[in-house]
Amino acid sequence: MKDDIINRVANSKLMTLDLEDYYPKGKRILLDLKEWLFEGLVLREKAFREMASEHDWSQYQDTYVAVTCSSDAIIPGWAYMLLGIQLEPFAKQVVVGDLEALETAIYQEVLNRLDLSAFKNKPVIIKGCSKKPVPRNAYIMAINKLKPIATSIMYGEACSSVPLYKKKAT
């Protein structure tokens, strides 16, 4: 008797959420304020404002920008705000922090807009491997959005997933 191989995963109700599918295109830039400071440590307001007014902000057109300072300088809040005002007409998104903070902010916006109704009352697997820099925080955000609607949530691949959550029977 010949046994046919049955793909139980393909025949199941299991739904896959691949966060990499929602990775927005666009260049990511880290703008380091250290280069804008006197000796890399001291923010001099007049010189800082002059640099901000003379800087070519158009180079940030359609980019995602993370503004940070890699030195131990104390940067006043207004300095970040001043650069945010300059970047706003050009950049898609601006955050204070490193590139991971930028990716987290990008994914927060993406996941807030994402319609997950197709996952309602279904077992869901959140795909784990990606070639793009999906931040770890995006997985937590996805779990928080899926938990109220999915029957179960797993992480990984269908062939080797890790169970994370199962809705209790009522």
Q: What single-letter DSSP state applies at residue 34?
A: G
Domain limits of the chain? 8-23+104-164, 28-91
pTM: 0.82
Distance CA 114, CA 145 (A): 10
pLDDT in tens, the chain (170 residues): 566 544 444 446 899 999 999 999 999 999 999 999 998 899 999 999 999 999 999 999 999 999 999 999 999 999 999 999 999 999 999 999 999 999 999 999 999 999 999 999 999 999 988 788 899 999 999 999 999 999 999 999 878 889 999 998 76
Residues 6+ away with beta carbon under 8 Å from 78: none
- Kind plus residue range of the DSSP H or E element containing 77: helix 77-87
